[in-house]
Amino acid sequence: MKRNTKAKITKTSGSKLVWLMGAAGVVFALLYWELSGLLYVLSTLALCALFIVVAFSDLETGLNESDGNEG
């Protein structure tokens, strides 16, 4: 297995923090300028994208691996 270096972990954490702060800033700005309709549309599109990712993910592999351990 490959080892994760501390620098790589820190870089990934920093990237996640930037995305989180950016998303929170957009939500705050939309609420501040009372654009809740646009916020509603964006959140609906984000949920649809999440559902599509889950629908096309390889869920069957995980189910097959857990079935072998039961018996």
Q: Which of the four pLDDT bands, split at 50, 70 and 90, describes residue 5?
A: low
Find out whether 39 and 31 touch, Cβ atoms under 8 Å. yes
pLDDT above 90 coverage of the chain, percent: 56
For residue 67, pLDDT beyond 90:
no
Find out whether 23 and 31 touch, Cβ atoms under 8 Å. no
pLDDT tens column, 40-60: 999 999 999 999 999 888 777
Query: In b/e form, how buried is each residue of 38-62, taking b as 16+ CB within 10 angstroms?
Result: eeeeeeeeeeeeeeeeeeeeeeeee
